[in-house]
Amino acid sequence: MSVNNIGMMDGAYFVGRNEILSWINTTLQLGLAKVEEAAPGAVACQLMDAAHPGAVPMHKVNFDAKNEYDMIQNYKVLQDVFTKLKITKHIEVNKLIKGRPLDNLEFMQWLKRYCDSVNGGSMSSYNAIERRDSSKGGKETNRRTSVTSHAPPKSASATNKAQASSHGAKRANGHASNAPQRSAKPAPANTAGPAYDAQMTELKLLVDSAEKERDFYFSKLRDVEILCQSPEVEHLAIVKAIQKILYASEDDPSTLAEAQAEMVAQHNQQLQQQPMLSPILEASEAPSITPKDSSEESLMRQEAAAAHKRKSISDMEEFEMGSSSRLRLSDVSDVQLCGSPLMSFT
C-alpha cells in the first residue's frame, strides 16, 4: 500500500504524541521526551534505516546536529534515501528544523505509517545502537541513553528509614518545648511538573496549528490579490469590489454592502454604454410611427395614385382621338374606291 500521499484525515495523523514517542524510543532504543527532539533529522534517518536496513549511509548522519546547517545535511541524506526508494513524500525542511511540535509530530506520524506498511512494521531484529555507533555523535547518544536507562531507582527501605527518622525528630522537638508551637506542614510532592509540561506541549500544538491555518489563508488572500491586479481583469466591476473588501482597514459590515452597490452601479453603466446588437433591441429602438403620421402618408399615396390614374386616362383619350381621326381618313379613301359620284364626275 502506497502511503506517499495520504490525506490529513487518514488515521495515521490521529496517532497520539505519547504513542509516537514510545514507538521511536522502542525502535531506536532512545530516550526522547518530546517530539520536537527529532527536529535535527537524525532520528528520521535511522527510522528509515530500520525500515530498510543498509539503505541509509549512517556514517553521514549527525546525531549531534545543533545548527541549521547540520540539520539540513541530515535531511539531504534522508531526501537521497527517499529518491532511491522512489518515495514522493515532500519533506518540509524549513518547518521541521524550527523545532515546532506540530510539524514534527505530523512528519513522525507519517513516518510511522510508512514503517508500519513495510514488512508489517516488524523491526525487532534491528540493532539500533550498533548502527548508531558509526554516526557522528552516535556514541555520545548511546552513552546518554544507557546512563538514563540504567539509573538506579531509590530503594523503598532507605526512603522509609528517612521518613521514620524525620518523624522521630519532630516528636522529640515537640516534647522538648513546653509552649505550643504550630507544626510546619510538609512540602507537597512535586506532582505539577509532568502536568505542566503536558499542558505547555498542548498549548504549543494549538499555537502551531493556529499559525499554520493563518499562513494558509494569508497565502490564499495573496493569490486573490495578485489575480485582481492583472491588467486583463482589473477594470471589471467585481474585481474592484473584491479589492475594496481586501483593502478595508476596519472590520465594518457595511463594506460588503458598499462593494456590492458599486459593482451593480458600474455594471448598469456599462450596459448603457454598450451598443445594442440584438435585432429585437434594434427593432425596439426604431422610431415609432404615430397614427397621425401614418394617415398623412396614406393620403399622400392616394393622391399620387389618383394623379397617376388621371394621367393614364388622359393618355388613353389622346390615343383614341388619334385613332378615330385615322379611321375617318381611311373611310374617305374607301368611299373613293367604291365609285362615288363625285369621283366618277371627275
Q: Indicate the SS3 state at residue 205.
A: helix
pLDDT digits (tens, 9 = 90+) for 141-181: 888 877 665 544 444 444 444 454 554 544 545 444 444 44
User: Which of 68, 67, 48 shows the shortest CA–CA distance to 58?
Assistant: 48
> pLDDT tens digits, residue range 186-205?
545 555 677 777 788 888 88
Cα gap 44→120, rounded to integer Å:
18
Q: Which of 39-53, 183-197, 252-266 has the lowest mean pLDDT?
A: 183-197
Burial grade of 74 (CB within 10 A; 0-12, 13-18, 19 or more): buried
DSSP state letter for 346: -
In 3D, which of 196, 192, 145, 136 has the Cα closest to residue 29?
145
The pLDDT of 228-236, averaged and rounded, is 84
Percent of the chain with pLDDT over 90: 26
CA nearest 87: which of 13, 1, 3? 3
DSSP reduced 3-state for 127: coil
Over 60: is that where the pLDDT of 294 sits? no
pLDDT at 334: 47
Backbone angles phi, psi at 117, to 5 degrees: -80, -15
Of the pLDDT bands very low, low, confident and very high (cuts 50, 70, 90), residue 4 is: low
pLDDT in tens, 105-148: 999 999 999 988 887 767 778 899 999 998 998 888 888 877 66
CA atoms within 13 A on the CB side of 74: 29
Angle at which helix 42-51 crosses helix 101-117, to 10 degrees, equals: 10
CA atoms within 13 A on the CB side of 330: 6
Distance CA 152, CA 251 (A): 61
Please state, in angstroms and rounded to a whole number, the distance separating the CA atoms of residues 38 and 99: 8
